Amino acid sequence: MILVKLGGSVITDKGKLRSFRKLTCERLAKELWRARDSLTIVHGAGSFGHIRAKEHGLHKGFKRKSQLGHVAAVQRDVRELNLKVLEALIDSGIRAVSIPPAAAATFRGGAVASFNPDAFRNMTQLGLSPVSFGDVVPDEAMGFSICSGDLMMEALAKEFEPELVVFCADVDGVFDRDPKRARSARLIPDFGRPSLKLLGRSDAQHADVTGSIRGKLERMLAIAQHCEKCMIVNGNVPGRLERAISGKEVISTVVLPG
Ligand code: IPE
C-alpha cells in the first residue's frame, strides 16, 4: 500500500479562508492515478480548517459555548474540502471513498485513543481508495479537539505498514532554514533524528493549530519506522508526486526511521 498526504498548503491557499486550489488538486489527482491505484490518501484542511480553528481556539478543546458554532462550521468546511478532493480524485479515475477520522478512531487529549482499521481495510480490499482528512473530532478529555491529517497518517502507517509514505508539501522537502525567507536555505536530502538539531530557531510563532514544523517532523520520524520509505516532495512542481510514487529519482527529503 502507498499512503499519501496531500498537504493543506498545496490543495488550498492557506492565507485565504476556504480557497481551494482546484487545478493543483486535479493535477495531483492525475499524477496519483497515473502512478498507481492501490492508494490510501489523507488530506490536510488548509484554509478550510486552520484559520477559523485558530481564531476560536478549537485546538485547546471546549472552553465556552460560543465555540460550538465554530466547531460545526469547521466540520462543515473540511467536509466541503473533502468533497472537492473526492471529485478531483474520482474524475481522474481513482475510486475514492471518504472515511472521516472519527469514523475510525476515538481521541483523548488531542491524541488517538483507539483506532479501528476495519473500514480502511475493507474498502482497500474491495479495490477502493480510502480518503481521510484533518478534522475537528470528539475528544474524551477535551470535549473536542483537532485531528490533523498527520495524526491519521501515523495511525494508518502503524496499522498497515505501507511500502511508501509520501507527504506532499509546498516546498521541496526539509531545509536547514525557512526556504521562503532565506535564499541560502539548503535542502536536507536525508533527514534522521539527529537532523532535528540542524533546523533553525524555534518556529513556534509560525505554528498553526496542528503544531510546528518540528512537531510534524517528530511525527514523520515515527511514521518512518512503520514503512519502507517515507518522503516529502513538492506538490507544486508538476511530476514530483508521480515520480515519487513510481519509485523514480526525485528532489525530496527522505525521512529516516528514528
Ligand atoms: C488540520 O489538519 C485540521 C484542522 C485544522 C481542522 P492538517 O494539520 O493535516 O492540515 P494542513 O495539511 O496543515 O493544512
CATH of the domain at 31: 3.40.1160.10
- Residue 6 CB: number of other CB atoms within 10 A? 30
The domain in which residue 180 lies consists of: 2-255
Residue type, 168: C
What pLDDT is recorded for position 203?
A: 55
Total domains present in the chain: 1
Ranges of the chain with pLDDT below 50: none
Q: What are phi and psi of 146, to 5 degrees?
A: -100, 125
**Helix-, strand-, coil-residue percentages of the chain, each rounded to 5:** 40, 25, 35
For residue 162, the CA-to-ligand 1 centroid distance in Å is 22
Residue 257, all three cell numbers = 526511521
State the distance from the centre of ligand 1 to the C-alpha of 210, rounded, in angstroms.
6
Ligand 1 site residues, Cβ closer than 6 angstroms: 7-9, 44-46, 49-50, 53, 74, 78, 134-136, 146, 148-150, 208-210
- C-alpha of residue 50 to centroid of ligand 1, in Å: 6
Q: What is the pTM of this model?
A: 0.96
Q: For residue 57, report the distance from its CA to the centre of ligand 1, in Å.
A: 14
